[in-house]
Structure 1
Amino acid sequence: MDELIEKAVGRAIDVMCQKMGEQVTLDDMARAAMFSKFHFSRIFQRATGISPGRFLAAMRLQEAKRLLLCTSLTVTDISQQVGYQSVGTFSSRFRSSVGISPSTYRRLGGVSLLVCGTDTRRHPASNRPATVHGWIAVPSFPVILGKIFVGLFPDRLPQGRPVRCAVLRKAGPYEFNDVPLGTWYLLSYSAVAGRAPVVPSARDHGDGLYVGCHGPITIRPETQVRPADLRLRPMSRLDPPVLLDVGTLQVVSS
């Protein structure tokens, strides 16, 4: 990626961090990046995989998760601190993205139960069920990772319910059967073994987290899917926040 673009997008993300509890506009972000807002939106999407607005929303929910685990602030106070004027809207967005309500997330200490499966009303099955398979690799330098989450999502943001997912004990092969028609992104996450299961602040940029992405993968009735391999790398400031808790995720099949 062009260094100029990376620095410009980084400046916009810094503004998001500094003004998380305020109403941050696209003009504010573009001004920090020193681009026109129309050009800024394109380069931000290219650099991060998602739009500036979705990136900011994900950062707010990540900070909310951290505050729920690390402070005694009420849910209402947290919602206001991360930029929501309505606690009802905040709770609804949190549940749809993380999978459980803010109060339940706090009570369970950040442990999330993720159900993997397919909503056939939204993702019709193919007459020729597709299999997505491949290999998850880890960095070659000495680093010991914990469990590895891998899943298929509609885009580059890991939120909500993936269409297929699994947790691997170590690097190696994975396989998803009966993948529905559509276009998916294979996202994988892990954390350094022994890392405290505390959600990082937005300013930490996911210290100790490793990520990987492969896609888009398009499933059509006549398409034979090639192996989808990926290698985990250290998370950077340009990677969308991980709204699913890799270290505490428990996965069951539907």
Structure 2
Amino acid sequence: MSSEEYIREAVATLWDRYRDPLSLDELAHVARMSKFHFIRVFRQTTGVSPGRFLAAVRLHKSKYLLRTTRLSAAEVSLAVGYHSVGTFTRRFTEAVGVSPIQYRRMAHGKQPMVPVTATGSGRRDAGAVRGVVHRAETPDTRFFVGVFPGRILQSSPVAGAVVHDSEPFYFPAVPAGSWYLLAVALGPDHRDGGSPPGGCVGPLRVRQFDQLAVDITIRRPDWRCPPIVAVLPSTHLRGTLGHAVVS
């Protein structure tokens, strides 16, 4: 087997045993690699560390339980591998954008949907990012695209917008630094919480007064892609599509 196939086994283990206190030693053993070699190859293959991938899987599973069961937040936290409801609630709120209780109310139509919004930037060292979203292997024509600090679509972007296929986007105030341009399909078939088609470009090095031109292509997700965590317009929740959010 190749190194990628062994990493695939490790990713499958993360999805199968996300409730367990998995250690790097256990995952490296599954991948038949030394721990340090495993961490490096896992990051090269998926774009994130094993720990961040596992955290995204746990939050993804917790959202499913909040939507489909009557388990309390404490029970959900235990079900997905957290032993402290306080830690679970804090990490869920930071990554998803709303608290577990708010998410459940939104999913059940008892609270207006509040999609992820851009944080914006007033810093003078900002540059600009522009481009076009293209689709491949998907019938979807409407997408959310945003600038995020990491490879996983979670928390709030520094800039974002809802766009159509081949429609240009322009973010004029992206702070200097290293960022990822992430995009995800917003078709109605993806509202059940499944993994929708998406795309990623990065890391992008933004400097003051930069005018970066970056196109992004939407493709079907595969096993390398960590799950989406943040609440997006109509991606995880029933309801109407949110308005564009632009910095």
User: Does the pair score TM above 0.5?
Assistant: yes
Distance in 1 (CA, whole Å) between partners of 2:128 and 2:102 is 35
Distance in 1 (CA, whole Å) between partners of 2:213 and 2:246 is 22
**1:38 equivalenced with 2:36 (yes/no):** yes
Distance in 2 (CA, whole Å) between partners of 1:194 and 1:13 is 28
Match of 1:218 among 205, 215, 232: 205
Match of 2:45 among 35, 44, 47: 47
2:189 maps to what in 1? 195
Q: Unaligned 5+ residue runs, structure 1?
A: 201-205
Contact 1:189 1:212 in 2 (8 A): yes
SS in 1 for 2:191: coil
Q: Deviations over 1:187-208 (max 9, x none)?
A: 11115x33151113xxxxx2xx
2:144 maps to what in 1? 149
Letter in 2 for 1:19: R
Alignment of 1:49-198 (within 5 A): 49-109=47-107, 111-118=113-120, 124-126=123-125, 129-139=126-136, 141=137, 143-191=138-186, 193-195=187-189, 197-198=191-192
- Structure 1 residues 214 and 77, CA, compared in 2 at 3 Å: closer, same or farther? same
**1:241 equivalenced with 2:227 (yes/no):** yes
Identity %: 34
- Cα RMSD of the aligned pairs, angstroms, is 2.0
| 1:247 positional shift | 4.9
Distance in 2 (CA, whole Å) between partners of 1:106 and 1:146 is 28
SS in 1 for 2:189: coil
Contact 1:190 1:246 in 2 (8 A): no
| 1:170 positional shift | 3.3
Equivalenced residue count is 236
Letter in 1 for 2:150: D
Distance in 2 (CA, whole Å) between partners of 1:196 and 1:253 is 23
- Structure 1 residues 107 and 219, CA, compared in 2 at 3 Å: closer, same or farther? same
| 1:72 positional shift | 1.5
Letter in 2 for 1:195: D
SS in 2 for 1:72: coil
Give structure 1 regions of 4+ aligned residues with deviation exceeding 6 angstroms: none
| 1:220 positional shift | 1.6
User: After alignment, is 69-78 or 93-102 more displaced?
Assistant: 69-78
